[in-house]
């Protein structure tokens, strides 16, 4: 045995540092024995081998010991935490409730935002899908005409495009009838989405020559209406009285998120030559979806699309006045409007969560103060500070875990309720669920909140001065420092609450402004029904005119007979309010060169229109229903634009492309037919009488129950003949208006709920701190009461303390809201992000709530009995 055959000194020292000497020595012996035993092969580098083996064993021993120590610490901490949690059930329950509410709110919000805003669309390379639409200075125009579609389809190198629209239709097979939603799309539609039927060939090039139109049906329709008929492909069905052939069944669950919520059937649409040529005017009724080709970027596609569109617009200046093309990613276009307020709600929830955490931190700090004796004893018995922190943190993590579980449960129970109350038309709303992603986020949130609200109390409470604790005989003493921390937490909490209440005020204020905006007409009592009139083919204009006149009169008469209806009118050439679609004509201002013209939204109406829609007549008169009248009524906007200061009545208005001028006989109020948040649409009204157009909108005014009137309207087509039919379903404008304002109503409701929640949590926090303050200062107050201070004075002084903190917090909150309010500006309407009234109201509300919360414990200050206080000391 030579000396160099021993375990090298360094390895030996390390091993002995980790393990007790006898154990380390036994291991060294094992290694030396192995090295010398005949069984082992002779080793080339005995010293190196010994060192390596000893180091590996050192590492293993170290890992083992640390694991054991850690698991023991966790076990002990959990045991302690459970004991403490049970020992002060009120604090624990309060903390759990506050955090659970926060986590529930955050979980629900996150699951909604995650599904709607954050996830990818369910299409192959969905990040390549784009939407092409238009806009003018007045706002976005989602629909384009067939001419633009054809130009883009034929000319674009950077993108492939498809056009689509949808409508309701009646499907018939034998005696079975069903109202279905059909998506009417150009043949490239499914290819652009990279989707294909699960059954059948779908649409193909050969369809162009087929005598029977091909359609593709949804899986749900196939199963529900056709009983999963395996021979469906190739069979014919009757759609709107027309025979079509089923050439495909889409895969189950296939949806087109930008379209209607349910699609039963896909139908091919090929624009007619007339539609392409713009010879009959520009009728915009199509939506465009596209896919970027190859590696082309959105920017490249946008500039190509803009160039193509500019060429088209230059060739038809009169029809494209003020129109610009707009290219967006599909996802942005789908969630564009929703994204902003969803993220705002998410931030608001995060703020509520922070307020809740600060609140619970304060609660735990109070409990930590009560436990200083317990902690002091543990410290005196040799517990290190980190062990105290660990055990205090474990307490808060335990609370957070319980709260997280409860919060997720509450979220799961309320999610359906929340998704049901979401405004209609939010893409993918039906897919919102609590899934793995959401669960992971919720659990991470719980853990983070546990750390957030636990860390400060843990570090503060573990700061135990054993000597002074023992001197004071074990009575809990609360240092100035801890009180300062609690006050700072209170001020922070108040500041957060103010920020949230201000945001709530801005959002709710915007909603109020939207509701109060004057639309220029009164949608509330109106029901509308679009009526189509098929004109007899090959008939003379006189015969057609007669047929139209009969249809109009009949619709008016029958609608007037509906009980509760107080007025009926017709309009044509545009859409009913809150729906899209318009006819633009070009007015040439008097004395202006022929090239300059003003685009005017034009509507052909009966003279009753203004009474029925409650559009005030400002000057002049309403036209007669004389079919030959060559007169027009303008709104104030366009009248001023055309004729300036001069009296517009009896002036002549020239329209580009129309030889005969129109005489202005009346001026009416300007309207916002697209809703309160859209600009005024300058509009001219022509008498519907002479207009040779088949379809029209039947408008009825039923002050009490427009919904009942709408139902009665839906009954009318059953009695009609002569090519008259109802298109889609009657609409109730009040419902349309509600739908239009649904996002605002929803976000205002959510923000109001969160604001109230924040106020309640904040009030609870103020109550808690003031209670503690009063308890701690009982002795001082007793002395002062003995020296003659009145009860009222003691209460007043306590309230003044609270008021100072409230004001400080409010000041910080106002400054913060002032600084960050700008991010909300795109979501606001009619209020600025720094609206002083809303700030003042928010601060006033907070002061009132805060002072009430402080007053309850402050009353106790006035009731301090000096005799009892002084006797107990």
Whether the Cβ atoms of residue 571 and residue 699 lie closer than 8 Å to each other = yes
Q: Does 51 bind another protein (CB under 8 A)?
A: no
Number of residues lying near another protein (CB under 8 A): 27
Which residues 6+ apart lie within 8 Å of 430 measured at CB?
A: 261, 419
Quickly count: other Cβ atoms within 10 Å of residue 439's Cβ: 16
Q: Does 6 bind another protein (CB under 8 A)?
A: yes
Q: How far is the CB of 73 from another protein (least distance, A)?
A: 16
DSSP-derived letter for residue 115 is: I
Q: How far is the CB of 119 from another protein (least distance, A)?
A: 42
d(CA 178, CA 225): 8
Q: How far is the CB of 5 from another protein (least distance, A)?
A: 7
Q: Does 1 bind another protein (CB under 8 A)?
A: yes
Structure tokens, 641: 């634009």
Q: Does 536 bind another protein (CB under 8 A)?
A: no
Nearer to another protein by C-beta: 64 or 82? 64
Q: How far is the CB of 13 from another protein (least distance, A)?
A: 15
Judged by CB under 8 A, the residue of 33, 124, 557, 865 near another protein is 33
Q: Does 26 bind another protein (CB under 8 A)?
A: yes
Q: Which residue from 872, 863, 709, 719 is spatially nearest to 795, judged by alpha carbons?
A: 863
Q: Does 175 bind another protein (CB under 8 A)?
A: no
| 3-state secondary structure labels for all residues of 261-297 | CCCCEEEECCCCHHHHHCCCCCCCCEEEEEEECCCCC
DSSP-derived letter for residue 850 is: H
Q: How far is the CB of 78 from another protein (least distance, A)?
A: 19
Q: Does 64 bind another protein (CB under 8 A)?
A: yes
Nearer to another protein by C-beta: 32 or 752? 32
Residue 635 bridge partners (DSSP) = 668
Binding part of the chain for another protein, among 57-65, 176-184, 203-211, 726-734 by CB under 8 A, reads: 57-65
Q: How far is the CB of 18 from another protein (least distance, A)?
A: 11
d(CA 543, CA 549): 10
Q: Does 11 bind another protein (CB under 8 A)?
A: no
d(CA 349, CA 346): 5
Q: How far is the CB of 43 from another protein (least distance, A)?
A: 15
Token pair 């966790």: residue: 74
Binding part of the chain for another protein, among 25-33, 191-199, 480-488, 604-612 by CB under 8 A, reads: 25-33
Q: Which helix (H) or strand (E) holds 808?
A: helix 791-820
d(CA 849, CA 851): 6
Which residues 6+ apart lie within 8 Å of 532 measured at CB?
A: 694, 695, 723, 724, 725, 726, 727
Q: How far is the CB of 26 from another protein (least distance, A)?
A: 4
Judged by CB under 8 A, the residue of 11, 14, 28, 533 near another protein is 28
Judged by CB under 8 A, the residue of 10, 17, 23, 553 near another protein is 23
Given its phi and psi angles, is residue 227 left (phi above 0), alpha (psi -120 to 50 degrees) or beta?
Answer: left
Nearer to another protein by C-beta: 20 or 89? 20
Q: Does 74 bind another protein (CB under 8 A)?
A: no
Q: Which residue from 437, 412, 441, 354 is spatially nearest to 104, judged by alpha carbons?
A: 412
Binding part of the chain for another protein, among 60-68, 105-113, 168-176, 508-516 by CB under 8 A, reads: 60-68
Binding part of the chain for another protein, among 49-57, 355-363, 688-696, 767-775 by CB under 8 A, reads: 49-57
- Written as one string, the DSSP assignment of 509-532 is HHHHHHHH---SS--TTEEEEEEE
Judged by CB under 8 A, the residue of 30, 124, 274, 416 near another protein is 30
Q: Does 812 bind another protein (CB under 8 A)?
A: no
SS3 738: helix
- The span from the first CA to the last CA of the chain, in angstroms, equals 78
Q: How far is CA 764 from the centre of its chain?
A: 30
Binding part of the chain for another protein, among 50-58, 642-650, 739-747, 810-818 by CB under 8 A, reads: 50-58
Judged by CB under 8 A, the residue of 4, 22, 294, 542 near another protein is 22
d(CA 308, CA 150): 11
Q: Does 198 bind another protein (CB under 8 A)?
A: no
Nearer to another protein by C-beta: 1 or 417? 1
Q: Does 658 bind another protein (CB under 8 A)?
A: no
Q: How far is the CB of 15 from another protein (least distance, A)?
A: 11
Structure tokens, 208: 């162009």
Q: Does 56 bind another protein (CB under 8 A)?
A: yes
Q: Does 57 bind another protein (CB under 8 A)?
A: yes
Q: Does 25 bind another protein (CB under 8 A)?
A: yes
Nearer to another protein by C-beta: 30 or 435? 30
Q: How far is the CB of 54 from another protein (least distance, A)?
A: 10
Q: Which helix (H) or strand (E) holds 238?
A: strand 236-239
Helix runs in 165-291, H state only: 189-193, 219-224, 273-277
Judged by CB under 8 A, the residue of 17, 29, 433, 840 near another protein is 29
Integer CA distances (angstroms), 217 to 48, 119, 208, 667, in order: 76, 27, 19, 50
Judged by CB under 8 A, the residue of 10, 13, 17, 36 near another protein is 36
Q: How far is the CB of 61 from another protein (least distance, A)?
A: 7
Q: Which residue from 742, 864, 740, 720 is spatially nearest to 797, judged by alpha carbons?
A: 864
- Give the residues lining the site for another protein (CB under 8 A): 1, 5-7, 22-23, 25-30, 32-34, 36-37, 39, 53, 56-57, 59-61, 63-64, 68
């Amino acid at each position: 045995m030579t000396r160099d055959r021993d375990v090298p000194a360094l390895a030996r020292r390390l091993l002995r540092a980790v393990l007790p000497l006898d154990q380390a020595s036994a291991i060294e012996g094992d290694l030396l024995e192995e090295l010398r035993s005949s069984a082992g092969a002779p080793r080339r580098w005995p010293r190196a081998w010994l060192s390596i083996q000893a180091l590996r064993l050192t590492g293993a021993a170290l890992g083992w010991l640390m694991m054991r120590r850690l698991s023991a610490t966790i076990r002990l901490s959990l045991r302690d935490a459970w004991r403490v949690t049970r020992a002060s059930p009120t604090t624990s329950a309060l903390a759990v409730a506050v955090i659970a509410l926060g986590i529930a709110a955050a979980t629900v919000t996150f699951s909604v935002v995650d599904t709607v805003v954050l996830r990818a669309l369910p299409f192959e390379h969905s990040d390549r899908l784009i939407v092409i639409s238009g806009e003018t200075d007045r706002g976005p125009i989602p629909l384009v005409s067939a001419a633009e579609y054809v130009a883009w389809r034929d000319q674009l190198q950077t993108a492939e495009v498809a056009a689509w629209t949808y409508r309701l239709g009646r499907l018939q097979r034998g005696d079975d009838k069903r109202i279905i939603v059909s998506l009417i799309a150009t043949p490239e539609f499914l290819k652009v989405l990279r989707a294909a039927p699960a059954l059948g060939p779908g649409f193909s090039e050969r369809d162009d020559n087929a005598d029977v139109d091909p359609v593709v049906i949804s899986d749900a329709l196939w199963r529900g209406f056709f009983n999963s008929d395996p021979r469906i492909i190739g069979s014919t069905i009757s759609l709107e009285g027309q025979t079509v052939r089923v050439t495909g069944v889409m895969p189950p669950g296939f949806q087109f998120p930008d379209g209607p919520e349910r699609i039963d059937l896909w139908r091919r649409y090929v624009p007619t030559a007339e539609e392409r040529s713009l010879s009959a005017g520009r009728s915009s009724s199509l939506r465009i979806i596209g896919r970027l080709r190859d590696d082309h970027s959105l920017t490249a596609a946008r500039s190509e699309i803009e160039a193509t569109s500019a060429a088209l617009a230059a060739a038809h200046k009169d029809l494209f006045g003020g129109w610009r093309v707009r290219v967006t990613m599909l996802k942005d276009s789908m969630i564009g409007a929703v994204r902003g307020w969803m993220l705002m709600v998410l931030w608001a929830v995060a703020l509520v969560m922070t307020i809740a955490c600060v609140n619970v931190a304060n609660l735990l700090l109070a409990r930590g103060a009560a436990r200083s004796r317990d902690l002091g004893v543990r410290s005196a018995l040799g517990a290190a500070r980190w062990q105290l922190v660990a055990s205090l943190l474990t307490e808060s993590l335990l609370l957070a875990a319980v709260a997280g579980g409860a919060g997720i449960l509450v979220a799961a129970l309320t999610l359906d309720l929340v998704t049901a109350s979401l405004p209609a038309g939010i893409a993918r709303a039906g897919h919102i669920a609590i899934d793995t992603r959401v669960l992971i986020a919720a659990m991470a949130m719980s853990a983070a909140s546990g750390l957030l609200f636990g860390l400060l109390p843990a570090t503060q409470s573990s700061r135990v001065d054993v000597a002074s604790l023992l001197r004071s005989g074990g009575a809990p003493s609360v240092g100035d420092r801890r009180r300062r921390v609690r006050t700072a937490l209170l001020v922070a909490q108040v500041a957060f609450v103010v920020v949230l209440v201000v945001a709530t005020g801005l959002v709710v204020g915007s909603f109020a402004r939207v509701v109060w905006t004057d639309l220029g007409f009164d949608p509330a009592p109106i029901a509308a029904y679009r009526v189509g009139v098929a004109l007899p083919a090959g008939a003379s204009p006189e015969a057609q005119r007669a047929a139209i006149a009969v249809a109009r009169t009949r619709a008016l008469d029958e609608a007037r007979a509906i009980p509760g209806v107080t007025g009926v009118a017709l309009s044509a050439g545009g859409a009913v309010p809150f729906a899209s679609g318009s006819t633009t004509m070009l007015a040439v201002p008097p004395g202006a060169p022929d090239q300059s013209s003003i685009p005017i939204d034009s509507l052909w109406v009966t003279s009753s229109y203004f009474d029925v829609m409650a559009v005030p007549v400002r000057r002049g008169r309403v036209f007669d229903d004389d079919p030959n009248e060559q007169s027009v009524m303008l709104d104030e906007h366009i009248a001023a634009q055309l004729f300036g200061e001069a009296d517009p009545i009896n002036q002549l208005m020239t329209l580009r492309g129309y030889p005969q001028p129109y005489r202005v006989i009346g001026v009416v109020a300007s309207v916002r037919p697209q809703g309160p948040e859209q600009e005024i649409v300058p509009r001219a009204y022509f008498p519907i009488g002479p207009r040779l157009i088949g379809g029209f909108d039947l408008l009825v005014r039923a002050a009490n129950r427009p919904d009942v009137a709408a139902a009665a309207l839906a009954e009318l087509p059953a009695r009609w003949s002569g090519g008259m039919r109802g298109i889609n379903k009657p609409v109730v404008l009040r419902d349309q208006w509600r739908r239009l304002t649904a996002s605002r109503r929803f976000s205002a409701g959510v923000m109001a709920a969160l604001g109230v929640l924040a106020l309640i949590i904040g009030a609870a926090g103020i109550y808690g701190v003031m209670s503690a303050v009063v308890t701690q200062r009982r002795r001082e107050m007793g002395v002062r009461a003995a020296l003659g201070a009145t009860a009222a004075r003691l209460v007043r002084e306590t309230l003044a303390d609270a008021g100072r903190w409230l004001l400080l917090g409010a000041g910080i909150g106002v400054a913060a809201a002032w600084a960050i309010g700008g991010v909300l500006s795109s979501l606001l309407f009619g209020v600025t992000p720094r609206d002083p009234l809303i700030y003042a109201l928010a601060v006033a509300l907070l002061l009132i709530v805060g002072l009430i919360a402080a007053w309850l414990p402050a009353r106790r200050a006035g009731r301090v009995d000096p005799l009892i206080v002084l006797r107990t000391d």
